[in-house]
Amino acid sequence: MTTVEDALLTRRSCRAFLPTPVPRAEVERLLALAARSASNSNCQPWQVHVLTGAAKRALAEDLLRAHDAGRREAGEFDYQPCTDRWPEPFRSRRRGFGEGLYRDALGIPAGDSARRLEHHRRNYDFFGAPVGMILTVSRKPLLGALVDAGLFLQALMLAARGAGLHTCAQASLIDFHPVLRRHVSVPDDQVIVCGVALGLADDGHRLGAHRTAREPVSSFASFYGSEVGALT
């Protein structure tokens, strides 16, 4: 058994997976656990499309062709700014994440765009994970549905850690949403939120030890009231 605290402390965005298959029954169990997530008025606006084997390979090949041909498109809706429009402090945090991944963990300097692109391409094969998922939500209660999708994703990631598995949520896939729609049946009233890679981590990969920093509680939490330590 893994405690919730253990799952939170060991969860990471894994970018190197082993090809070891994950049984369908286990994937279904994890999704059933994630579906226990809270949602606004219990609307449960999420849909999940799970790809393995030949279906995942076909999608990955199509995504890579689209990527290499420069067929990137704007997402079906904007939930993050363009690369050059991130305000502070998020711009600095994002830059620090990129340098920590490429320069420090992978040893690729800023000027080596070819090697950085080579690693980025691995997004479109779900970093070698045996299971790829596409998460969608309803267009109708869209803003609330995105909050619900975040809760669902977190629950799925923590449930995966309880099973000894790892995940990586992938917003990069929505740049090729027409390709995704060719491979999975997404109703017109649903929009694509992100992809998710799921599997056993390749701890022998040089990214196996890579971890990202977190801001201290004092940087984002404000406390009100004078009763320190008083719980009634």
User: What pLDDT shows up at residue 57?
Assistant: 98
Q: With pLDDT > 70 as the criterion, what percentage of the chain qualifies?
A: 97
User: What pLDDT shows up at residue 231?
Assistant: 53
Inter-CA distances, 17 with 31, 44, 93, 107, 197, Å: 20, 30, 25, 19, 9
Task: Write the pLDDT tens digit of every residue in 55-100.
Answer: 999 999 999 999 999 998 877 777 777 778 888 998 999 899 989 9
**CA–CA dist 89, 145 (Å, integer):** 26
For strand 190-199 and strand 166-170, is the pairing parallel, antiparallel, or unpaired? antiparallel
pLDDT exceeds cutoff 90 at 227: no
3-state DSSP helix/strand/coil % of the chain, to nearest 5 = 50, 15, 40
**CA–CA dist 194, 177 (Å, integer):** 10
User: What pLDDT shows up at residue 85?
Assistant: 83
Q: Which amino acid appears at position 185 of this protein?
A: S
pTM, rounded to two decimals: 0.91
User: What pLDDT shows up at residue 141?
Assistant: 83
Span 115-136, mean pLDDT? 96
**CA–CA dist 126, 129 (Å, integer):** 6
Residue matched to tokens 């939930």: 79
DSSP state of 89: T
Mean predicted lDDT score pLDDT of the chain: 92
- Bond preceding residue 45 cis, omega within 30 of 0: no
Most confident residue range from 141-145, 146-150, 205-209: 146-150
User: What pLDDT shows up at residue 82?
Assistant: 77
Domains of the chain: 4-81+124-211 (3.40.109.10)
Span 148-173, mean pLDDT? 97
Task: Write the pLDDT tens digit of every residue in 126-142.
Answer: 999 999 999 999 988 87
pLDDT exceeds cutoff 70 at 232: no
- Bond preceding residue 21 cis, omega within 30 of 0: no
User: What pLDDT shows up at residue 1?
Assistant: 63
Q: What are phi and psi of 217, to 5 degrees?
A: -55, -40
Higher pLDDT, 139 or 7: 7
